[in-house]
Copies of this chain bind each other. A is one copy, B any other.
Amino acid sequence: MKKSSTTESLILHAAERIFFLRGFDGARMQEIADEASINKALLHYYFRSKERLFDAVFEAAVSRLLPPVLSVLHLELPLREKITAFVEAYFTTVLENPFLPGFIVHELQRNPAHFRAVIAARRIDVLETLKMQLHEGAESGIWRRISAEQFMLNLFSLCAFPFVARQGMQALSGKNDHEYLLLLEERRTLISGWVLDMLRPETVNVK
């Protein structure tokens, strides 16, 4: 049973490349088979159907992105460090899988229930810890009052959107792939500062 496991992961990796690139509807089983250099029937031998193969890929994708990224939000860390840790975790993970965010975002639209199910199954609660921490910070006057939801949206937006809309941003900015990567690396060092700026208590009339 040595061969089976390697073939299975061979298929999974090929399917991942194709599904990441084309989404569920755009992907062809034949193309996945070709990508894996195997017969199309073998796909069905290992994963009964296109749906199941896709589910496996999606599950793996979510597993690769969410845990490393969301777990830092629960750590016992000052907000400042937590933000930096989040940004680092996000960029590290996503720079290794640049199509991941777009893939997930598209599946979010295609089949919202799918993602909900995955989230529910993992009992993920991102906001719990964050809410407390932000509340405390606001009470003690260190941070501006902001809902955990808006804070999360800001953090996610600044990190994820440049990947999700990469092609569009490149088109608008005229940057080539290399230049855009530099831009992303620069962001990696800047985002946590920006997020903290948004948290700083409002200064009175900076002019």
Contact = CB atoms under 8 A, between A and B. Distances in A.
Interface string A115-157: 1100100001011000000000000000000010110111011
Main SS of the interface on chain A?
helix
Contact of A198 (B164, B168, B186, B197): B197
Contacts of A116: 167, 171
Given A190-B150, A197-B200, A162 B172 contact: no
A113 to B, nearest CB: 9
Contact of A167 (B109, B152, B162, B194): B109
Contacts of A186: 147, 150
B124 A172 contact: yes
A21 to B, nearest CB: 8
Contacts of A109: 21, 23, 99, 102, 106, 167
Nearest to A173: B149
A105 interface: yes
Given A106-B109, A150-B190, A164-B164, 10 more contacts: A23-B106, A108-B167, A116-B167, A119-B171, A147-B186, A152-B169, A153-B158, A153-B162, A154-B194, A194-B198
A110 B22 CA distance: 6
A1 interface: no
Contact of A115 (B149, B154, B171, B190): B171
A25 interface: yes
A60 B167 CA distance: 19
A160 interface: yes
Contact of A161 (B21, B119, B156, B174): B156
A4 interface: no
